Amino acid sequence: MNPAVYDYPNAPKPPRKISTARWVILALVLISISFKLGYDSGKKGFVLEPKEFKVINQNQAPKDVDYQLLWDALRVVQDKYIEKSPTPDKILYGAVKGAVESFGDPYTTFFEPKTLESFKSDLAGQFDGIGAEIGKKEGNIVIVAPLDDMPAQKAGVLAGDIVVQVDGQSSAGWSVEDAVGKIRGQRGTKVTLTLYREGKPAPFDVEIIRDKIEIKSVKWEFKEIDGGKTIAVIRLTKFGDDTEALFEKAVNEILTKNVSGIVLDVRNNPGGYLQTSVELASFWVESGKLVVKEARSQGGDTDYNALGRNRLKDIKTVVLINGGSASAAEILSGALQDYGIAKLIGEKSFGKGSVQELVNLCGGFLNGCSDEEALGAVKVTVAKWITPNGKNLNKDGLHPDIEVKLTEEDIKAQKDPQMEKAIEEITK
């Protein structure tokens, strides 16, 4: 079994394939070793000694890098800072984090042991928090998707809201993991988010009581409409551990009924497993046809093709998307749109079509180590996704075939014009 590849920042479990970004890890390990070797006794407890290293870049060409600037800066602050110096570990983690984030990708980040433990707790699918997927876009911490029936949604948080502050602390400069660490907390406790929402004149506060977050990824129901027709509505909240089994169960039940169509609802679905999105697309897409292309910076692109069980191909389908539809949700929706199998109704998707690999850092060993042995980890973007017709999901997202807005007034009035439009399209 290979290490983990995630298609969004807080994926629910290790997926099924990886590749290694060895040049990034090598650079980070060298920096880590330099710090460990450089600590010595001094008037404030340690002295950082400058070292010289040779770093191998992405093209495997040697390049001499002088780290004297780093050591000089640290020594100046160490000698002159008015308060107590931070611990060596804290300095080390800060330096590695800064090096990783210099690549400018919001999904590539370094986990120190504490944040790594928190990140991996997400993989079990159970934790205490507000029930919202957090991402980063254009430098801002944003709500990718508030999850159904979770505290954030109940408090009125919407996909696309920008998190300006958490409990009065500015989110400027935070990573996604920083934001998650501030927002998450013990059930029953309160957190106040200061949000900016497009169309609002100013940021506003939302108080949320944290709770235990447990998510079932597939729900389905049957709607009776005029003329005695029946429509199946499948709601996908993520692409996780339980998705394939639950979706298969839903399909089996749908096929026992004479349904006029299917509404596939992936609104506010932040994603999950790549392979699961391919499995689900295969219920509609003809066997062997491309579902998504995984394009990598160093070549070796991978095509993911339908698996040959298109049991729903003869049932009219529409897909509901919005700004909270991301990652694996965009893969599935994009394939159905590109092949003309389903129209997309709603609002433009989030546009998160990239793959992250989680690699444990093991003190110089680049072939991996156990979670218990890891000194930290790097989550690094290694690929992007392209739809069958060539759409770059990470750049463009998906545009609906029929745009229908869902306003705050609609939500307050418990109206769903997007669902209404989907049913209308099915019954044409």
Catalytic residues: 327, 338, 352
- Cα angle: 10, vertex 16, 5; to 5 degrees: 40
Helix (H) or strand (E) holding 22: helix 22-38
Contact 47, 40 (CB under 8 A): yes
CA dihedral defined by 268, 274, 275, 277, rounded to 10 degrees?
Answer: 30
**CA neighbor of 400 nearest in space, from 335, 319, 290:** 319
Cβ pair 88, 31 in contact under 8 A? no
- Compute CA distances 411 → 4, 199, 414, 418, whole Å: 37, 16, 5, 11
Measuring CA to CA, how many Å separate 160 from each of 10, 74, 186, 416?
17, 39, 25, 18
* Residue 155 buriedness (CB in 10 A; 0-12 / 13-18 / 19+): middle
In angstroms, the CA 328 to CA 330 distance is 5
Distances (CA, A) of 123 to 234, 273, 301, 335, 424: 24, 11, 27, 27, 38
Is the separation of the CB atoms in 318 and 422 below 8 Å? yes
- Which residues sit opposite 386 in a β-bridge? 293, 392
Q: How many CA atoms lie within 13 Å of 44's alpha carbon, on the beta-carbon side?
A: 17
State the Cα–Cα distance between residues 217 and 205, nearest whole angstrom.
Answer: 29
| 261-265 and 317-321 strand pairing | parallel
- What is residue 290's three-state secondary structure? strand
Cα–Cα nearest to 239, from 280, 204, 288, 187: 280
d(CA 200, CA 205) in angstroms, rounded, equals 12
CA dihedral 243, 244, 250, 251 (to 10 degrees): 150
CB 271 within 8 A of CB 7: yes
